[in-house]
Structure 1
Amino acid sequence: MTRGHGPTVRRRRLASELRRLREAAELTIDEVSEKLECSASKISRIETGHVGVTPRDARDMLELYGVRGDEQDALVQLAREARKRGWWHAYNEVFTGTFVGLEADASSLRAFQALLVPGLLQTRHYAHAVIRAMRPDASDTELDRRVEARMERQQLLRDPHPPEYWAVIDEAVLHRAVGGAGVMADQLAHLVRIAQLRHVTIQVVPFGAGAHPGMEGPFLILGFPEQADSDVVYVDSTMSGLYLEVESDVRRYALMFDHLRAAALPPEDSLRVIAEAARGFQTE
């Protein structure tokens, strides 16, 4: 796995720029589709980053918007780079690409989980038990493939230039016996170890905190090093995920995360609670 400006972030940036240039040219999506003899849905999906754009399509769009010279060349090159394959394409039966692509290029990751250990912090056996429970009809081959993909994702935290990772978890995560006592003891001990990394922070929201903003469900806030790449919120679910990019939505989740950090135990106290829970599983 390599870090840097990956294809997913490049595609997102190009989409934003093409939308901005179309609006500056005072053209509607329908007008662009008519002039380029393509469907309006294609232009819309390009501008939202749901599909990639070929260098030829990018050049045609830029010509229509009156963008030429060095600016056009730079954006066409961005279109070429956005079409490169990321490491996750080797697991295309597991990943859609968008999530891991954004995750791989993020400079900061702020995660909340109420029921499970976050994916980047799971041990192999814990991940196996989680995926087996969520996909009871999966074959052993599919299950192993999904576990391998998750382990590959975790190399992100061992990268020479890793993102700042801050995870807040509900205390319930520490007591749900996923995979049995032995798996849980190893998993919780792993949390204590990985929290020793300078770029990893883990906090626990204790039961005593009562109701908290995270009860709405798990989410991840992805931040990026370039100002041109705005933060994204990924709201997780079993079968799919929702991406939120509107500034007001991102701000709301950032505020939720701040409240969760405030409600949680300080990092050192959190690790003591995690270690105590691990010892409890070791005696079972």
Structure 2
Amino acid sequence: MGRRSVDPAWKTFGRTLRACREEAGLRQREVFQPLNVSSGYYSNLETGVRAPSEKIIAALDNQVNAGGRVIAAWEKAKRQVQAPMRFVELPDLEAAAVKIREFQPLVFPGLVQTSEYATAIFEDTFPGMSRRRIEQLVQTRMERRHLLKKDPRPLIIILLTEAVLHQHLGGRDTGLLRDQCRSLISDIDAGRVRVQIIPRSTRRHYGNGGAFRLYTFAEKAPVASAEYMTGEIVINAPDRYQECDTNFGLLQGEALPETHSYEMLKELVDYDHE
């Protein structure tokens, strides 16, 4: 038999459950026996192999003295697995961060996308999705832009490959890219974001692992997140976070200075494509 896959959302839930149990000084059998579930069933909850039944979640929270933390983690995991785009945690991370660093090799980051650009992305990513559902996803993405108007707002540093500036989406013409670049320039001018572009001429590329983000917080350890086909996984293990941090530094070393990157964006907007 093949190894059973573990959903990242339930794996995160399992870590929360285990942390609460250990904080309470309990062994696994002191939890699963009073709940009348098997040791194997409970072990699978902590490893994320299976999701807990709604019938036991309140008792489970009470048994490990979690004060609602297990219930909250269960509700978040359930929302994540039900959503067609698995970015439920992003608003929470962004709202709490004092610094956000993001690398994107294919598209402009969601935080700075225009509604039309976001629509084109969702159309290409989910070609069978209804127009109504796409509009809902775009609205959710646009709500994230409120972060750019916070006071104080986090320091946001974005690294893009030059290819992002030329990647057509949704069957649109170059006007889509020019409008997106204009919007990004406006964000730069307003001091909302800082942007550097990695030129195609670079001889090294440390971002072959794909898009990722780094979040720095005022009073807790930093975390990273990485995209996959249908969502985002949070990386909080110190060694894995350090790998992401190192890669970002290497990528930034290959990028153009901010002023040259800004000029590249302006050239794309001002260029006469007609």
Same fold (TM over 0.5): yes
Aligned pair in 2 of structure 1 residues 94, 260: CA closer, same or farther (>3 Å)? closer
Partner of 1:283: 273
Aligned ranges for residues 115-264 of structure 1 at < 5 Å? 115-178=106-169, 179-227=172-220, 230-264=221-255
User: What percentage of aligned pairs have identical amino acids?
Assistant: 24
> Relative to total residues, which structure has the larger helix share, 1 or 2?
1
Shift of 1:164: 1.7
- Residue 163 of structure 1 deviates from its aligned partner by 2.0
In structure 2, distance between residues paired with 1:237 and 1:29: 33
Aligned to 1:8: none
The answer to whether the 8 Å contact 2:95/2:147 transfers is yes
1: CA distance, partners of 2:42 / 2:211: 34
Mapping 1:29-108, distance limit 5 Å: 29-38=28-37, 39-41=41-43, 44=46, 57-62=60-65, 76=67, 97-108=88-99
TM-score, normalised to structure 2, is 0.77
Q: Tell me, what secondary structure is at the counterpart of 1:108?
A: strand
Tell me if 1:268 matches 2:256.
no
Shift of 1:56: 6.2
Provide the aligned C-alpha RMSD in A: 3.4
1:96–1:278: structure 2 CA closer, same or farther, 3 Å change rule?
Answer: closer
Distance 1:263 1:242, change over 3 A: same
Q: How far 1:31 moved relative to its partner?
A: 4.0
* Distance in 2 between residues matched to 1:167 and 1:57, nearest whole Å: 41
Tell me if the contact between 1:33 and 1:43 (Cα under 8 Å) persists in the aligned partners: no
Checking the alignment, whether the CA contact within 8 Å between 2:105 and 2:207 is kept in structure 1 is yes
Q: TM-score, normalised by structure 1?
A: 0.74
Which stretch of structure 1 is more off in the superposition, 76-85 or 143-152? 76-85
Matched residue of 2:189: which SS?
coil
* Partner-residue secondary structure (3-state), 1:109: strand
Contact 2:225 2:235 in 1 (8 A): yes
Give the whole-Å Cα distance in 1 for the aligned partners of 2:160 and 2:226: 15
Where structure 2 has 5 or more consecutive residues not aligned to the other structure, the ranges are 1-12
CA gap 1:93/1:133 in 2 versus in 1, 3 angstroms? closer
List gaps (5 residues or longer) in structure 1. 1-10, 63-74
